A and B are shown apart, each in its own frame.
Chain A
Amino acid sequence: MTISVTMTVNGQSVTRDVEPRTLLVQFLRENLGMTGTHVGCDTSQCGACVVHVNGTSVKSCTILAAQAQGAKVTTVEGLAQDGKLHPMQEAFRENHALQCGFCTPGMIMSAIDLVQRNPNPSEETVRHELEGNLCRCTGYHNIVKAVMAGAQAMRG
């Protein structure tokens, strides 16, 4: 049995027939072939899969594709506009906030949501808010720096 799911991903309307149990992250990676969103765990702990659904961050491994029916989904692939990187992407590169890059898409998506809610976060707030995103490489030092710098850039 399949169901038809329609949503807008990075500004484009997409429709696919999928098994009802398909998770949003599977829909993105397997049905749409958009592999920028990663899977790092099976217990909703790591945050590698974070995307924005209607503007807020969601672990895409924790919701069914069907639950995003009609929603506007943004993934890391949709952040750069007209060939210009999002300020948070720039901040990650500038501050060496990534090593293997596997946690990075989820980290950037979480960071943007964090800054949208806290335009001027303290280091403590950043560390606390990133609690749902695991990184094994960086020790978080440069991620925290990058998020603070990205926040400043987003404030303009």
Chain B
Amino acid sequence: MTNQGIGQSVRRKEDFRFITGQGHYTDDINRPGQLHAAFLRSPHAFAKIRAIRLDTAKKMPGVVAIYTGQDVAADKVGGLICGWTVKDKKGDPHKAPRHDIIAIDHVRHVGDQVAVVIAQSLSQAKDAAEAIEVDYDVLTPVVDVVTALKPGAPQVHPDAPGNLCYDWEFGDKAATEAAFAKAAHVTRIDLLNNRLSPNPMEPRSAIGEYDPGTDTTTVYTTSQNPHVLRLILCAFVFGLPEHKVRVIAPDVGGGFGSKIFNYPEETVCVWAARKLKKPVKWTSDRTEAFLTDAHGRDHVTHAELAIDKDGKFLALRVDTKANMGAYLSTFASAVPTYLYALLLAGQYTTPAVYAEVKAVFTNTTPVDAYRGAGRPEATYVVERIVEAAARELKMDPVELRKKNFVPVDAFPYQTPVACVYDSGQYAKALDEACKAADYAGFAKRKAESAKKGKLRGIGFCAYIEACGIAPSSVVGSLGAGVGLWESGQIRFNATGSVFVYTGSHSHGQGHETTFAQIVSDKLGVPIENIEVVHGDTAQVPMGMGTYGSRSLAVGGSALMRAADKIIEKGKRIAAHLMEASVDDVVFDKGTFSVKGTDKQVPMAQVAFTAYVPHNYPADLEPGLEASAFYDPVNFTFPAGVHIAEVEIDSDTGVTTVANWVAVDDFGKVINPMIVEGQVHGGIAQGIGQALLEGVVYDKESGQLLTASFLDYCMPRADNLPSYKVGMIETPCPHNPLGVKGCGEAGAIAAPAALMNAITDALGTEEITMPATPLKVWKVIQSRHLAAAAE
């Protein structure tokens, strides 16, 4: 027992099926009589559909049906929705133009759905899709935010004039202006936060199935939040009752945000399955994934930091243009606003912050939450500008940060941008990271690199994130269309084993182990006797799913509440069995006992008695199960410091990550092995963003130039270092487990740390992500030329 509870690196319960090839991912599932869907997609970034000719395609072997946007419209299927309404500066709601599941008259990005073929086999469906003829009037597209905002730019949607989704502001403008007016120094920076493709290794997939006998629709799909998807499909898209729709998200091969959203494809599978009364399956190929999985980031930002003569930050002013793509995805509007500007105080006491954000439509794939969602963008702004300020002021970046950190005795700390930080030890994390990175020895290492003709740099990132998303009343007041509680249920079986049901979803995070550990720890049941069930709306009563590092802080807390109810009921049963008063019964490590006596009964006996209640309290219901909902009172605020050290080959421009140190504070850690794994994966994605990855559209044609793993550079084993991951624990004071969340930290911290290291090595801030060898080499060359000219 002792090696299974909270704080232990228990090996994962889910691994056996994965290492033996016995996982059940959506594409592994096949239903009797199943048909296959293939989409014909737009080859143009922006075009009017003039005519679609299906005659040839319809006669192809195996074709069962071909549908276009006209068929969808005829069936009055609702468009896809955005679940968070952001109000602009004037208080008007954002523009959310209609997003049809198959395009009706216009296509607005390369890959937009034009028609779907349903056939007996996938190859037949694909062959027939190729035989569909479409006449387009090709229009001039716009792919970047700067061009899209210019007068005379192509208009992506007639109902979003100027391509503006919203023009939004946050923070105290007057206080910020006043602070700038008295600043001794102002640091300014222009930043591009490059567009990324999430690329979970499992492509999206869905099967829609309809049972006319019970009028029930079942959807198997790659979702991070099956209940939320059910809610959207029922309440907004199809107008179906929720109790007649079941969403199953079985093993899911990674998500990183991209599998939160409601997409056209699964919606089409459901619609077609109901029409044809046959299961309809679609699985994305990687090209489709690049074209249609919601992208992440894509911000253009100008920021200014006002500093007094002693190096204290006075105010931060930020102007951001955020690319929304062609349509407003499920939670897209919240990402560059409430998940972004609220974090712009960083770990610092900056008294005034003001941000303006314009969200902009373009002829590109929709952009939505990707690992970190808004918080990496905020961290990138804060930590790049702080490092730049240190350089301008010729101050040590560590000292400048320490001078401005929220001190340990200031918690709970109210920031000027609405957050109340609950706990933290920012200087401690920085000190430990500096020690682990041997910051003191950096100058020597730099000199050694210089002897070899190499440039060496070190970069810091002290990040903060808001996780444990989120208090429902708070997000409701900010425009969210949902509550962000989580539910959990614990059900004992008569023989003492336990089912744990959670509304959050695991797609790599290891809930089946971590959640079993917390229940084991609390109720004293060995983890091998606990089965964690998730991802099926017919089994799990309710749920809000997994994103924003919320599963343990919110979902785990719900389970703790449910466990409390189990203990309370167990005490009454135990008291009856031991002929004692309930008030004298205590529970510890799986055993009920009577205070001050040696009387005791184990949990298993209590569970058995609950189901075989022959000798049982007269006023008590049989059975031992409890469910609970948990609505957090605040966000959690994981924070930490990452330090990157790089060596750059001046001849080739190749950057090698020489050392990586992370010291994170996630509050209480349940399974250190799993937490470290989350940090590793996050860092890799962050390094990917800074060094390798970037979605590129051709400006003229709007074609996606990075639509395969040949053109989009994913981090590979030989691009990355091993990481030194350390932790400090400042428990979260407001949830029962004291946990804060760890899933996104690496991706939030890494880009700024790495770019600070690269700009340190190069001696200029003028380089954008990804810092490819070509870009780095060009910077080095231009400096050589400049030096030669002097």
Residues of chain A touching chain B, judged by Cβ–Cβ distance below 8 Å, are: 19, 21, 29, 33-43, 45-46, 48, 75-77, 79-80, 85, 89, 92-94, 96, 98-105, 108, 123-124, 126-128, 130-131, 133-144
Contact = CB atoms under 8 A, between A and B. Distances in A.
Contacts of B252: 100
B22 A36 contact: yes
Given A100-B507, A102-B253, A142-B680, A89 B287 contact: no
11 contacts: A21-B123, A38-B253, A101-B23, A101-B251, A101-B253, A108-B19, A131-B716, A135-B717, A139-B680, A139-B720, A140-B716
Contacts of A127: 717-718, 720
A45 B254 contact: no
A99 B681 contact: yes
A143 to B, nearest CB: 7
Interface string B489-530: 000000000000000000111100000000000000000000
B707 to A, nearest CB: 10
B709 A136 contact: no
A16 to B, nearest CB: 14
A93 B286 contact: no
B286 A76 contact: no
B3 to A, nearest CB: 14
B509 A99 contact: yes
A39 B677 contact: no
Contacts of A128: 717-718
B285 interface: yes
Contacts of B433: none
A140 to B, nearest CB: 4
Nearest to A99: B508
A151 B682 CA distance: 27
A131 B123 contact: no
Interface of B: 9, 11-12, 14-25, 27-28, 30, 123, 199-203, 251-254, 256, 285-287, 507-510, 673-674, 676-678, 680-685, 708-710, 714-718, 720, 722-723, 746
Contact of B710 (A39, A43, A124, A130): A43
B201 A139 contact: no
B532 to A, nearest CB: 15
A156 B717 CA distance: 26
Contacts, number: 178
B708 A42 contact: yes
Nearest to B708: A43
A50 to B, nearest CB: 12
Contacts of A130: 716-718
Contacts of A46: 201, 286, 709
Contacts of B27: 35, 39
Contacts of B16: 93
Contacts of B17: 101
Contacts of B507: 100
A46 B200 CA distance: 11
A140 B507 CA distance: 17
Contacts of A76: 19-21
Given A42-B708, A96-B12, A101-B251, A134 B714 contact: yes
Given A45-B710, A137-B681, A19 B123 contact: yes
Contacts of A45: 708-710
Nearest to A76: B21
A40 B201 contact: yes
A42 B287 contact: yes
- Considering the complex of A and B, which 10 residue pairs feature the smallest CB-CB distances, nearest first? A36-B21, A102-B253, A101-B18, A139-B684, A100-B508, A99-B508, A45-B709, A139-B680, A35-B28, A76-B21
A135 B21 CA distance: 16
B18 A104 contact: yes
B19 A104 contact: yes
B717 A38 contact: no
Contact of A136 (B287, B677, B714, B723): B714
Contacts of A141: 680, 684, 720, 722-723
A108 B23 CA distance: 15
B711 to A, nearest CB: 9
Given A43-B286, A130-B716, A139-B723, A93 B12 contact: yes
A102 B201 contact: yes
B19 A92 contact: yes
